[in-house]
Amino acid sequence: MLIQGAKSDLVEFDRRLRAIAPEGQVPRPFLCRGSPLGCDVFLVGINPGTDTPLWHHWSLEKGCDKDGWLADYLGRHGRLKPTRARIERICESAGRDRVLETNVFHVPSARERQLPKADRRTGVFDFLLETLRPRVMFVHGRSAVAVKRLSSGDGHDHRGADSISPTPDACPLCPRT
């Protein structure tokens, strides 16, 4: 885990992220406003629906320029697609600067079923979860909840849940021991 805040921490985060999500190979490993360090809310889907890249909107000086990314997205699509519109409403409600959007699988596809099995790897998601350690995780989509449930190791069935905690002891659906 990185100590939150220092520029050297962002440099280390960038170095480690690029090792597992190289620019040009992974279009959008995550999306946030500014530095991902300190984002304590994760919004997690199954995989990106579009290939609008992050890397043109990422710098060590400013972190992630989400407004620039959104302008690029709108230039490609002309409008917010329904899922993107819902994501933006959730981010506004949760606190724009606290939310990091990511996906269980980092490879984009228009539909989940179009994502090849070979591209269903969780390395980027695992890195973000381990490194940033969010306090709250909103997992949307039946498949994303199922994959997160399998990776959580808590043994509790989270199907039908709107959100689950990143740690079993804080999960409102898990039985207390």
Q: Can you give the pLDDT of all 177 residues of the chain as single tens digits?
A: 444 555 679 999 999 999 998 888 778 899 999 999 989 999 999 888 888 999 999 999 999 999 999 999 999 999 999 999 999 999 998 887 789 999 998 888 888 888 888 888 889 999 999 999 999 888 887 777 766 555 554 444 444 444 444 444 444 444 444
Q: How many domains does the chain have?
A: 1
What pLDDT is recorded for position 88?
A: 94
Left if phi > 0, otherwise alpha if psi is -120 to 50, otherwise beta: which for 12?
alpha
**24 inside domain:** yes
What pLDDT is recorded for position 167?
A: 46
Cα–Cα distance for residue pair 171/167, rounded to 1 Å = 6
pTM reported for the whole predicted model = 0.77
3-state DSSP percent of the chain in helix, strand and coil, to 5:
40, 10, 50
What pLDDT is recorded for position 7?
A: 67
Cα–Cα distance for residue pair 169/56, rounded to 1 Å = 38
What pLDDT is recorded for position 6?
A: 59
What pLDDT is recorded for position 8?
A: 79
What pLDDT is recorded for position 115?
A: 87
What pLDDT is recorded for position 75?
A: 96
**175 inside domain:** no
Residue (of 11, 103, 119, 4) closest to 58 by Cα position: 11
**64 inside domain:** yes
Q: 136: buried, middle or exposed (CB in 10 Å: 19+, 13-18, 0-12)?
A: middle
Which residue range is the domain that position 86 belongs to?
7-170
**76 inside domain:** yes
CATH of residue 65? 3.40.470
**177 inside domain:** no
**40 inside domain:** yes
**25 inside domain:** yes
**60 inside domain:** yes
Residue (of 124, 133, 100) closest to 2 by Cα position: 133
